[in-house]
A and B are shown apart, each in its own frame.
Chain A
């Protein structure tokens, strides 16, 4: 079964450093998403991406965050200057775009720890 792949599985960084979280979506998917889950809290939507541009973003997704699909296969989330509160599990998801979430596939996540 096709799957969404995320690397690394764990990332430790110092506060103020830039991090890039990487995702390889399912190959024929067109819609891409990032969600995050702070420890003990619910999974929260960050951003959706389609046709090489952001289609929607949450209020969490401020100027410190950016997304990119650099080479047609990878989908990245960059945090420019990490804060302690950015520590969370970040999930990438992709979809064939049938709408409504019924074809959404999640990766296994990257645990980001900001020290």
Chain B
């Protein structure tokens, strides 16, 4: 079955601490994965796509096919990173994980 798992509902860190938001997927084909972010009172927006291997707002995510993971990382969290983060798998449709709320305390 095609599935995206985000095991943490809530992740709380202090400013300056490293952050890793976990995402695991289940898919028999070649995965296309994304991270979306939703800041308070804003629309859902695309943060990262695995195919681009980019760094956006200091965040990176590496696809690990062996572990079927696409964890989102940032070495030094900022307060403005506080938001809801969704991992998504694109098959013939976009399948979302349940999301992780990141809280960054000052």
A and B bind: no
